[in-house]
Amino acid sequence: MPRTFKLGVLAAAVMAAAPAVQAYEAGDFIGRVGVATVDPDSSSSNLNSNALGEIDGAKVSVDSNSQLGLTASYMLTNQFAVGVLAATPFKHDINGDGAALGGTGKLAETKHLPPTITLQYFPMPSGSKLQPYVGAGVNYTNFFEEKTTQTLTDTYATLAPGVTSTDIELDDSFGLAAEIGFDYMITENVGINAAVWWIDIDTEATINAYAGNAVADTSTIDVDIDPWVYMVGVSYKF
């Protein structure tokens, strides 16, 4: 029997006896990076002023923003993992809405970080290159660098003459989150990823209006942001 044939048979036997390459298995860490877009499905209550009472139709909406998204999964078993969503800070404009404020434009802006932790389920066998997953967990959203615009101050001054400046503060939010996504492994370690989250983000905004240095009025408005978060990127298995 020719030597090359013998070597070919031996190689085939070794490959047949070797275990299949595992796409994901217990102990793996999968990191992902890509573009993440927060697209709020926002709604709000009416503005409630200490001095003026509830102002019917004085509502707000929140626009969308895209940033660098970072996610990771740690495989607890071949099918269950702990997932984490993080990102560079998202920046959102807060715009006038409703019959009283619709069309006024940008009233304020804020930045936020939405760290989210989920328990993920991967239904496919660990050897599959395609690894869809679903997850559910909790989100904590931290708002910071809130600012108002001159438009808000001018609008407020029409309701309460003498107002010269405003500021705004948003309460942090804690809520539920759900996700669905997939990884497709191109090589043993590198893959592509796409995922969608729905996150329950609710906050109360407090607006102070000043006449000079004195507080002329304080008002509040409840805002349900409740965004869909979309991300497309690449994954790497460690």
All structural domains of the chain, each given as residue ranges with its CATH number in brackets, are 24-237 (2.40.160.20)
For the cut 70, the answer to whether the pLDDT of residue 21 exceeds it is no
Q: Is 158 left (phi over 0), alpha (psi -120 to 50) or beta?
A: alpha
What does pTM read for this prediction? 0.84
Residue 160 is predicted with a pLDDT of: 83
d(CA 82, CA 75): 7
Residue 185 has pLDDT above 60, yes or no: yes
Q: From residue 116, how far is each of 20, 88, 140, 174 by CA, in Å?
A: 33, 13, 6, 10
Tokens representing 181? Answer: 């996504």
CB 101 within 8 A of CB 81: no
pLDDT of res. 118: 98
Tell me the pLDDT tens digit for each residue of 63-122. 999 999 999 999 999 999 999 999 999 999 999 999 999 999 999 999 999 999 999 999
Helix extents (H) in the chain: 3-17, 98-101, 150-159
Q: For the chain, give the percent of residues with pLDDT over 70.
A: 91
In angstroms, the CA 9 to CA 30 distance is 36
The amino acid sitting at 110 is T
